[in-house]
Structures are given as C-alpha cells and as structure tokens.
Amino acid sequence: MAVQNTRERTTLSIIDSLSKGFQTIGRHWWVILVPVVLDMFLWVGPQISIAPIIDRAAGILLETDLIAEAWAEVPDLADTLRSLFDDIAEQYNLFSLARIKTVGMPSLLVWGGAGLNLPSAYEVIWVYFIQMIDLPDLLVSVSRATFLTAQIWYIQNEGLWLIAALVIVGIGLVISTIYITLISDSLAGPDTLGAFWRRVTRLSGRILLFWLVKIIALIVLGLPFSLLISLVSLFSPNLAFLFSVSGMGALAWFSFYGVFFVASLVINNVSIWHALWNSLNVVLRNFWPTLWLFILINLIGGGLTILWQQLSRGSWLTVVGIVGNAYVGTSLLAGSLIFYQDRYTRWRESVAEILNQKEKPANS
C-alpha cells in the first residue's frame, strides 16, 4: 500500500511551487521585514566611506610608469581614471556588504552591481543582457533620500577597513540566515525559540565553512589554470581566450548543479557535503524543470527589480519599491524552497521504493 501511495503522489509543477511561495509569504508577511529593514538602513542610514583609501590608491596608480607611458598616447587618460576613482569614492558604502548574496535575500539597494558592488552570478545575466540591448540607463542605483542628509563615517586605515568589512559581513551572514530560517519555518511550522537560534547558528557556520572551502578550491584550481592560460597565450592569444571562455562556461555549468545548496542546508539541516550531494541529485533528476525555474525566477525577480529601481529617485516612493521588491523576492525564494522540498521528497521516495522492491525477494 505504501508503494502505491508513492506512485500516486503528484509532483508540484514550477507554477504551483511559485504560487505556493507567494501564498506562504502572503500569510507570513512579517518575513519580508528583514530585507525591508536592511534596505531602509542602506537607503537613509549612515554610510561608511573608504574615500581616503581610494584617493591614496589612485595617487599611487597614476604615478606608475605604465600609466605615464599610456598618458603620452592618451592625454585624457589621467582625467578619466581620476573621475572613475572619484565616482567609486562617492558611491561606495561599506555597509552594503551586509547583503549576503549566497542566501538569496532580495535587495533593491544592492542589486546588479548597484552601489559598485559585485553582482551575483544570476544578476550578471541581467547586466550582460541590458548591455547587449544597449540600454545602460536601466542599470541605475537607487538614489539617496532627498529629504535628509546621511551621516558619513570615513575610514582612513586599510587595516581598519578590513576589520570593518569582516564585521559587517559577519553581521550580514547572521541576518541572512535568520531571514531564510524564518522562511523555512513559514513552510514547515515554527520552532521553539531555542531550536530556532540553534538552526541559525549551525546554518551560519556551515555557510562560512562553505566560503572557506570555496576560496581554497578556487586558489588550488585557479592558479594552475591561470598559469596554463598564460603559457598558451604566448603561442596563441585566440586559443588562450577560447580556453578561458570554456573554463568559465564549465564553472558556470557545474555551479548550476549546486543551485539548491542553500535550500538543502536550511530544509534538510545537513552538512555542506550532504547539501551539495542533495542539490546535485535533485538537479540531475529534474534538470529541465530546474532550469525553467531558474529562468522564470530571474525573469520575474530581475525584471521587477529593474522596474522598482526606475521608480526609486530619492523620494518616499522608494519605500514602495523596497517593500514590493522584498515581497516578490521573498516569495520567489520561498517558491524555490518548496520546489526543492517537493523534488527532494520524490527522490527519497523513489530510492525507498527501489530498496523495498529489492528486499522483497530476499524476504520471500
């Protein structure tokens, strides 16, 4: 009878998963307060500027022999570089590091390179697409609030900059894990307060460990690959370019199989290796649905984020954009967790069914 129920179970479609995500966040609307409060802080709160450090770096760079030689051929080069560094010094806010892209928390203030932050792998797709259709005006940062003057704290020392960056990233990691754990609780039912904070602590530690492993892997694999590209470029620059593009494509391809890594961490409460294994298996068994889910989430989330940014010109209307972006982004994230949970359950039921069928002849 158990096997029959397993076969009769209906798999959720992509649309059903996303619909359930919007319904869930509609019932547990307070979850969006986490990204809303963070974006409001980045919009109207104090800023940490590293303008003095950028000015020193610009001065050192402009005095190098390489720039001096290029200056002789391009007289406006120094002015262009100085203007670029001035823009960076004016726009960059160190507090923006509090938005952790790994977890997928939406942010109107930090999206697609806004505020001179590096875009996530998914946001890069939109950035390239907008550049390809030659509409750079769509990639705008949210304007600072026009009705107040934000306090700016300047960091003069590189060591203090590093310490402040690490502290902000650590705080952002805790905020992000609280956020995604709240989404998980809205799907499965709330934990006790003690169990909730234990899950947040474990999840933060596992994501931190994943970052360390990822950095080590990139160094171990990246250095030989870079050396190989350099050697090949001595003989054939075109071939070296082809190898570089192929390597980046392969990296993007393999990373796609880890698209449910964080989902497995929060839903299954497992180690990073087990989470990678779960994500790999779910994607392998549901490759095309996962790909279409990925495309649909990015089309909806990215497209609406660009729309919200166009409306955010420094007035109170920006609040509407921040709330709307948080609701849509959180609902899409909840939908992806629901999709993963459903497909993971189907996979485990299939494995149990196979094992059950193998045990029957042995018992008979």
* Residue 298 or 286, more confident: 286
Question: Helix, strand or coil for residue 49?
Answer: strand
pLDDT tier at 65, thresholds 50, 70, 90 = low
The pLDDT of residue 364 is above 80: no
The pLDDT of residue 107 is above 50: yes
The pLDDT of residue 133 is above 80: no
Across the range 279-289, mean pLDDT stands at 96
Among 62-76, 189-203, 280-294, the minimum mean pLDDT is found in 62-76
The pLDDT of residue 159 is above 90: yes
Q: Which pLDDT does position 303 carry in this prediction?
A: 85
Q: Which pLDDT does position 6 carry in this prediction?
A: 41
The pLDDT of residue 9 is above 60: no
How far is 321 from 326, CA to CA, in rounded Å?
8
The pLDDT of residue 315 is above 90: no
The pLDDT of residue 7 is above 50: no
Q: Which pLDDT does position 163 carry in this prediction?
A: 96
Among 223-232, 308-317, 343-352, the minimum mean pLDDT is found in 308-317
pLDDT tier at 141, thresholds 50, 70, 90 = confident
**Model pTM greater than 0.85?**
yes
- pLDDT mean across residues, the chain: 85
Per the CB < 8 A criterion, the answer to whether 186 and 32 are in contact is no
* Residue 145 or 92, more confident: 92
pLDDT tier at 71, thresholds 50, 70, 90 = low
List, in sequence order, every beta strand (DSSP E) within the chain: 47-49, 152-154
Across the range 207-230, mean pLDDT stands at 89
* Residue 126 or 18, more confident: 18
Burial class (CB in 10 A: 0-12, 13-18, 19+), 26: exposed
The pLDDT of residue 142 is above 60: yes
C-alpha to C-alpha distances, 128 to 121, 131, 228, 241, nearest whole angstrom = 11, 5, 27, 19
The number of C-alpha atoms within 13 Å of 216 and in the hemisphere containing its C-beta is 6
